[in-house]
Amino acid sequence: MERITAGELAAWLADARREKPVLLDVREPWEFEKARIEGATLMPMRELPSRIAQIDETKEVVAICHHGGRSMQVAMFLEKQGFKRVHNLVGGIDAWSRTVDPAVPLY
């Protein structure tokens, strides 16, 4: 699992030459409604084991949560399931709001 900062993710998403990663938001639906990164897919952590087949393991995956703890657990789980290109967003959506997009609400 690789760690990625909010700034690094923003640069990646802005780079037209790079394939976009799967933005896997593992928070709860109420959190996703409150604040999210455009283009992210909601898959709450508790649903991941039953929905893992919905994630394209050939693509790079960036796991996202509120502060980076749940997403780190998800990233490690995905690696154990055979995913090779998994990243954890350090600081989560909170870091994204503070350093990349202040229009995304803090909570």
Instruction: Single out the catalytic residue among 65, 75, 93, 100.
Output: 65
Active site residue 65: yes
What is the DSSP code string of 52-76? GGGS-TTS-EEEE-SSSHHHHHHHH
Q: How far apart are CA 15 and CA 54, in angstroms?
A: 25
Q: Which residue numbers are catalytic?
A: 65
